[in-house]
Amino acid sequence: MSTTRVTRPQVRPQRIHTARSASQRGSSAPTVQGNLALKARTSLNKVAEWRPSIQVVATRAQRKARPRVFYAIVTVAVVFGIIIANLLLSVAVASGAYEIAGLQQSNKELGRTYQTMNQDLDRLASPQNLAANAEALGMVNNSTPVYLRLSDGAVLGTPEPASANAGVIAGAEGAVPNSLLTGVSLVTKKESEAKAAAAKKAAEEAAKAAPVAETGAPASAPAAAIPAGPVALTNGLPGVATR
């Protein structure tokens, strides 16, 4: 008897399934079925070896129903995760904003420093400043070009010593003005900078007067050993002939 009852679901699985699922949900299913199940279990205990396959099988609906909880947990966790991540991200972005602002500010400052340095360099590199310093150091322009041919030591051109007043600036300061150089002192004035203002002025005068007095001697020195007159230039200016 019990056998037939137990096997009945296998005969009409669809209907029993619906009925069972209804009982699982605790709806108003007839109690008979519970009893039947109980009976079946007792009979199963009694004849364990005979019918090992009889047990409560999770129906498809049950299998479907169970993950819902899992999904809910996952969803909630993800939502919380997102909230937390969002929070952390915005904290990071906000602190990044300060970092960016700080870096931009320092970039700006460095740009300004670069600008002032570059301006300083450019004005110090101006021909006015270089020439003034060179002449203050006693250098003059030897305007007579002469070439020395390395292959035979011949002198091309007619060497002439530079005259003491060959300075290009001498006597014409400020003819090619550069107002950026206002306040830039000559290298020769450096030593006297520490001194008092009056002493400084005197040193300036001395520096200006210096080139005229000093220039003649060093420039004229090499003139002695050089043969006079131009040398014929047959094959252009030669390079070094290494042997």
Residues near another protein (CB under 8 A): 93, 96-98, 100-101, 104, 112-113, 115-116, 118-119, 122-123, 125-128, 131, 141, 143-147, 156-158, 160, 168-169, 171-172, 175-181, 230, 232-233, 236-237
**Helix H or strand E encompassing 136:** helix 127-136
Nearer of residues 164 and 169 to another protein, judged by Cβ? 169
Question: CB of 242: closest distance to another protein in angstroms?
Answer: 22
Max CA-CA distance within the chain? 146
Give how far Cα 214 sits from Cα of 10, 200, 207, Å: 127, 21, 11
Nearer of residues 160 and 214 to another protein, judged by Cβ? 160
Nearer of residues 19 and 156 to another protein, judged by Cβ? 156
Q: Could you write out the DSSP letters of every residue in 189-223?
A: GTGGGGS-HHHHHHHHHHHHHHHHHHSHHHHHGGG
Question: CB of 122: closest distance to another protein in angstroms?
Answer: 3
- Structural tokens at position 102: 């700080």
**Helix H or strand E encompassing 148:** strand 147-148
Helix axes 13-24, 32-46, angle to 10 degrees: 100
SS3 content of the chain, % helix, strand, coil (to 5): 60, 0, 35
Question: CB of 175: closest distance to another protein in angstroms?
Answer: 3
Nearer of residues 172 and 198 to another protein, judged by Cβ? 172
Question: CB of 69: closest distance to another protein in angstroms?
Answer: 38
Question: CB of 27: closest distance to another protein in angstroms?
Answer: 40
Nearer of residues 23 and 126 to another protein, judged by Cβ? 126
